[in-house]
Structure 1
Amino acid sequence: VAIKAVSRDGIRRWGELPDGTRAPLEIVLLDKVSNGFPGVIQLLEWFELPNGFLLVMEHPEPSQDLSRLLRAWGFLPEAMAWGLFRQVLQAVRHCTSCGVLHRDIKPQNILLHVASGEAKLLDFGCGTFLKDTVYTQFAGTLSYSPPEWIYLKRYHGEEATIWSLGILLYQMVCGKHPFRKGPNTIWDQLPFPARVSPGCQHLVRWCLSIRPSDRPALEDLLCHPWVQDIPRP
């Protein structure tokens, strides 16, 4: 198992569990998604202490997060990236079905079981309840936030999620973040190595459409030909 300590002083957002218990929002969200789905880290138990809370979560062994794997390998073979990306899509779909928006999808928050290749989405500390209306507060990692947040300070949950999924897939197959940091980001330049298939390139470019309404819905991603078909090695 893994144990996470949360200081009471650091808790900014609270929620309510089904039995009416008041708890940090992270615990409430984990409780909603921890119903046995294999692609999301499961909250096993939690305890309230005088100065904070302890969260007891599953932790497959041996395992490592995706960012460590990318640092070691540089980039992933496309067939491997395909398998991991499909698992992440299913995890996001599960969260959506539970009414949860993760808001911090990135390699550091994807745990890989070394032996089986099973991926799990973890760390719901930036998450919130999913809603159809616009969000005007940001939580997560700024370099994975979409242009509409950078320029307009507003975003919709699914559209921002799709953007972060596009960055994630680009990182897996190219080994680096697609955009330079700083105010002069050129959003529409996405160079790909020749080894990346046209289908994968199309999917990434679609996810990283500048206009939010041009991005695919989550179900569109799941039905995309590249996601449906196993890439050739």
Structure 2
Amino acid sequence: MVIFIDDRPIRIVKKKELGAIPSKEDFDLVLDARLSPLKVENFSGHTCIINASIEQVEKMLMNLHAKSGVHFHALYIIVDDRKTYKSRIIKMYSLVEAAGGVVVNQQQEVLWMFRLGKWDLPKGKLEKNEKFETAAVREVEEECNVKAELGNKICTTYHTYTHKNKLVLKKTRWYAMKTNFTGKLIPQIEEGIEKVEWLNEKKQIQALTNTYSSIRYVIEKSKLI
């Protein structure tokens, strides 16, 4: 599980997947929660936390939301039972479910859109009783005017934001899609989308320098670059 808080990845990793005790050669900072308090202002670079209780993790995540001026690139929390931690973390937030797509055309270009000063991929919230797969296809058509064929699921991302003084966790399932569409790309202006473009590999690399960490994660998982 990866949660993006202020565009920084917080990874919940099973101890079995990491192996033995993390080496300082792999991380900039390794903290044992049994030996020292988890002060978010002390995190730096790629920080790894071991032996943290779920209560300690919950408190730490709330501190990340509450404090400004925190400087680190990524956080790795090593746990025995990822399922339990994931369930408890989700309950800390108001959950919003969404779906999106990585759409590839016949020229192997990927569908991107430009919104709020950054490159993004088409996605949106589920409607009442709507399935993730249906929502993903619908959002691509609504936001970009492209009809696409649904493929396999790529990954699920979680990112946080504040709405009406409440912490929200947006869960987005991402799907690979293909299309033979050759018509006009029409951005959904009412959703703040300024333009929609097909980007080749070179242009995608440029777009990745001006997008969100969660979107870079999706592209990495899609193995398109």
TM-score (structure 1 length as normaliser): 0.26
Higher RCO structure (Cα 8 Å, ≥6 apart): 2
Higher helix share: 1
Higher strand share: 2
